[in-house]
Amino acid sequence: MTERTEQSNLDYSAGVVEQEYVPAIQPLTPVAPNKGPVLSEEASIPKYLQDTYYWGYLNPRNVSLLDHEIVVKSILWWQHNRLRAAAFVEISPASRVLQAAAVYGDFSKDLAAHIGQEGELKIIDVAPIQVRNTKIKLSAYPQAQVELADASTFNDCLFDVVLCYFLLHEIPDDYKTLVIDNLLKHIKQDGKLVIIDYHKPHWAHPIKPVTSLVFDVLEPYAKTLWRASLRELASTPEDYRWDHYTYFGGMFQKVVVRHNK
């Protein structure tokens, strides 16, 4: 694994991404079928989500209250813009992108605008209310589609970039492995999986005690990311190259995963 600490903010506001431009979308490339079921609305919601996160992602009143940029920025200690920029710098305009779960705020709208009308954005989520809510937010972006699907069993074409933005800390450990493995199956040979999530902060980080308490009370699966690297959670990590970056005193991380050449 190549590990680096990000020293400077990425200039997302300037709209400049120094990557090779992808001129056109290629025909869909099928993935060998797995045994993932086609989800009905009743069967799509995992038990852990019902039991642990009903208040945050399934309660209709709270979905309306939480789905705002100010909420996302507050939860992420005002690092959201920086982390979003760190994700978007990995994505060229006109790319085909899979977003592995719905994200509150304007993240998905900004991503759709970033790839442009020549790109293709697919967003999946296991919660019907999140799918409906995201469809409404993206109604002005014809390049985006939203689908009810489980990231651990989803089966579709290959993508230039698969993006996993603050999903893994919210799911049980065995599910983390299933999700990472399945997302890796959906990157093109020259594509990448980009994961942005929590990371164990420096021992002297002033916000570490508060974050630890929040995890203990509200995020029971998050501290796995303090104890293990994302590489360790994959079934066949040796098949890929893992580049690792940390932000905000180690509180957050970006991992970019590519096929070994």
Q: CATH number of the domain at 233, please.
A: 3.40.50.150
Structural domain containing residue 56: 2-6+43-259
- Domain membership of residue 15 (yes or no) is no
Would you say residue 134 lies in a domain? Answer: yes
Closest CA to 153 of 1, 34, 15: 34
Inside any domain, residue 212: yes
Is 203 part of any domain?
yes
User: Tens place of pLDDT for every residue, the chain, 261 residues?
Assistant: 555 555 444 443 334 334 443 444 344 444 444 444 445 455 579 999 999 999 999 999 999 999 999 999 999 999 999 999 999 999 999 999 999 999 999 999 999 999 999 999 999 999 999 999 999 999 999 999 999 999 999 999 999 999 999 999 999 999 999 999 999 999 999 999 999 999 999 999 999 999 999 999 999 999 999 999 999 999 999 999 999 999 999 999 999 999 997
Is residue 24 one of the residues assigned to a domain? Answer: no
- 11 lies in a domain? no
Distances (CA, A) of 241 to 101, 214, 235, 249: 23, 32, 14, 24
The span from the CA of 207 to the CA of 75, in Å, is 12
Q: Tell whether 38 is covered by a domain.
A: no
Tokens of 61: 């009143």
Report yes or no on 222 lying in a domain.
yes
Closest Cα partner for 147 from 135, 159, 136?
135
* C-alpha to C-alpha distance for 162 and 57, rounded to whole angstroms: 22
pTM, 2 dp = 0.85
Report which of 79, 128, 77, 75 is spatially closest to residue 104, judged by C-alpha positions. Answer: 75
Provide the domain count of the chain: 1
22 three-state secondary structure: coil
